């Protein structure tokens, strides 16, 4: 992704398209990259925010749709006993807000929670509203926090700020992967 962005620096339309697609891979990377591009003056903050927000919403809805389509398959539903399905639906019905918050704050939970929401038939309007509100706050807080950091870094380090931001992105991805492995190891040991 870095190579693509470097190739198209100076073309805000292409950068916006790449930022729209980035949340399908890793939302945090899209936000960090968009904030860095806006702080460096490569594109406006409004365009970066619009591209990232739209990409996140569309990717969330796509995960929900995948779950909803899978939930319509008798074969796939047959793999899961009815009591488990009922328990999952009750949990998501009662705890849609906490589930949405967990999905944003713990990156590896986003996929299973959003797919399960579609699979278990959580109402789409409810899903879209809750996750849209949570995503809006999440994007704004993270984007402008990183944007401010980038302004300081670009002022202090000039173009070396790109290297610092790339390192920060690597640390964020690595920390997420480390935490996921640790969580899965504990889960495997207890189960």
Which of 4, 19, 11, 95 lies closest to 56, judged by CA? Answer: 19
For the stretch 64-77, pLDDT in tens is 999 999 988 888 87
Q: Cα 149 to chain center, whole Å?
A: 20
Could you tell me the pTM of the whole model? 0.75
Residue 185 reports pLDDT greater than 70? no
109 neighbors 103 (Cβ within 8 angstroms): yes
Residues 6+ apart with CB under 8 A from 132: 57
For the chain, the domain total comes to: 1
Residue 54 reports pLDDT greater than 90? yes
Burial readout 138-150 (b: 16 or more C-beta within 10 A, e: otherwise): bbeebbeebbebb
**What residue numbers bound the domain in which 137 lies?**
2-190
pLDDT for 105: 80
pLDDT for 53: 95
Rounded distance, CA 79 to CA 24, Å?
27
Average pLDDT over residues 120-142: 91
Average pLDDT over residues 115-131: 90
pLDDT for 137: 92
For the stretch 19-36, pLDDT in tens is 999 999 888 889 988 988
Average pLDDT over the chain, rounded to whole? 82
In the chain, % of residues over pLDDT 90 = 29
Average pLDDT over residues 28-46: 88
Count CB neighbours of 7 within 10 A: 11
Structure-token match 């904030």, residue found: 35
Structure-token match 């939970």, residue found: 109
């Amino acid at each position: 992704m870095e190579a693509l962005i470097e190739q198209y620096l100076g073309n805000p339309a292409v950068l916006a398209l790449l930022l729209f697609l980035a949340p399908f891979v890793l939302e945090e990377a899209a936000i960090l990259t968009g904030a860095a591009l806006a702080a460096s003056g490569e594109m406006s903050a409004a365009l970066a925010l619009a591209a990232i927000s739209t990409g996140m919403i569309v990717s969330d809805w796509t995960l929900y749709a995948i779950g909803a389509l899978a939930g319509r398959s008798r074969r796939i539903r047959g793999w899961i006993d009815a009591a488990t399905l009922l328990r999952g639906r009750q949990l998501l019905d009662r705890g849609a807000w906490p589930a949405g918050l967990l999905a944003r704050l713990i990156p590896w939970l986003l996929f299973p929670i959003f797919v399960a929401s579609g699979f278990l038939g959580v109402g789409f309007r409810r899903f879209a509203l809750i996750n849209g509100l949570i995503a809006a706050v999440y994007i704004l807080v993270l984007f402008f926090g990183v944007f401010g950091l980038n302004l300081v870094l670009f002022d202090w380090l000039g173009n070396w700020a790109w290297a610092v931001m790339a390192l920060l992105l690597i640390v964020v991805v690595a920390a997420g992967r480390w935490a996921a492995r640790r969580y899965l190891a504990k889960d495997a040991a207890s189960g």
